[in-house]
Amino acid sequence: MTANLPCERGTMPIMRGTIVVAFALIAGIAPAQSRVKDVIYLKQGGCAYTMDVFKPKTSNHKAIVWMVSGGWVSNHESINPFLATPFTEKGFTVFQVVHGSQPKYTIPEIVPQVRRAIRFIRDNAATYDISPNAIGVSGGSAGGHLSLEIAGLGDDGDPNAKDPVERVSSRVNAVVAFFPPTDFLNWGETGNTPFQVTGMEIFYPAFGVTKQTPKEVATKIAQAVSPILLVKAGFPPTLLVHGDADKLVPVQQSKIMDAAFEKAHIEHKLVIVPGTGHDAATLLKGLQPALDWFETHLVAK
């Protein structure tokens, strides 16, 4: 069953074409992996939310959950088999998760959806031949932001929940975030928000703000969805990858997140790619570090 298109709503082709081409060049030909399409992880409000699962020939019992998101818009056309290939070739099972999109949904509504995806994957670990203790999360741009939100908000589940999936932990064991927004209160410089930057209006619906939203209200919203404020003991090991020529999400966003990890004594690493921007070039340069990070920090038990 495929999610209803109105639930996805809209299109924002940030990076999509270049990512597909770039990863196709890596793979050379069609990916040598099996694919299970349209696995439903959540039914909500008359909509079905799904993921595609890419299985390796031989499993290492480790999972990578990829957030299919650009500008907090997610759709099935952006699921990328070529992106999964470098990971499945190493034995990882890759789950590419589609979530509800802005403008229909705001970030505070999207985050519980993607956290639900983690619970679903862990609850079905045996089905997919993965360890429930070896689940990593990753994504680029908005997908990187959602990955950090998932990591910072992980919990053990609600033992009293009526839905058995909600009783399952949403914690992840490692994170790789490519050029992620991390601090909407200090966007590019201290005290700046994205709502003060020309050209960011396309993202306003994701926050539930307009140009008429009072500054104090917008500030509270920005604070509520800033992953940097979730950094504390227990945050999973995190790799950040960012191009120093990124004109959409300032490299400063990864630098200050990295500093927050250092202060909190979280295992972390920042890879700054010289000369690349908010694009597939940065993803390609960060691919091997991402593979190494997940191979090291995901331990199947």
> DSSP of 256-287, one letter per residue?
HHHHHHHHHT--EEEEEETT--SSHHHHHHHH
Q: Is residue 179 part of a domain?
A: yes
Q: Is residue 300 part of a domain?
A: no
Would you mind telling me the total number of residues written for the chain in this entry?
A: 301
* Helix residue spans in the chain (DSSP H): 5-8, 16-27, 81-88, 107-123, 142-152, 204-207, 215-224, 252-264, 280-297
Q: Is residue 299 part of a domain?
A: no
Query: Above pLDDT 90, what percent of the chain?
Result: 86
Q: What is the pLDDT confidence band of residue 301, given thresholds at 50, 70 and 90?
A: confident
pLDDT per position as a tens digit, 88-121? 999 999 999 999 999 999 999 999 999 999 999 9
- Of 205, 17, 193, 195, which Cα lies nearest the Cα of 101? 205
Mean predicted confidence (pLDDT) in 221-230: 97
End-to-end CA distance of the chain: 32
Read off the CATH number of the domain in which 208 is found.
Answer: 3.40.50.1820
Encoding tokens for residue 110? 């999207």
Q: Is residue 56 part of a domain?
A: yes
Query: Which pLDDT score, from 0 to 100, does residue 6 have?
Result: 46
Angle formed at CA 203 by CA 272 and CA 80, multiple of 5 degrees: 60
Which single residue is written with the structure tokens 């770039």? 22
Query: Which pLDDT score, from 0 to 100, does residue 7 have?
Result: 64
Does position 181 have pLDDT exceeding 70, yes or no? yes
Q: Is residue 145 part of a domain?
A: yes
Domain limits at 141?
A: 5-294
Mean predicted confidence (pLDDT) in 188-198: 93
Q: Is residue 51 part of a domain?
A: yes
Q: Please state the domain count of the chain.
A: 1
Does position 262 have pLDDT exceeding 80, yes or no? yes
pLDDT per position as a tens digit, 152-162? 999 999 999 99
Which single residue is written with the structure tokens 């910072």? 152
Q: Is residue 55 part of a domain?
A: yes
Instruction: Work out whether strand 34-44 and strand 47-55 pair parallel, antiparallel, or are unpaired.
Output: antiparallel
Q: Is residue 65 part of a domain?
A: yes
Give the alpha-carbon dihedral of 284, 289, 294, 299, to 10 degrees: 150
Region of residue 91 (left: phi > 0; alpha: psi -120 to 50; beta: else): left
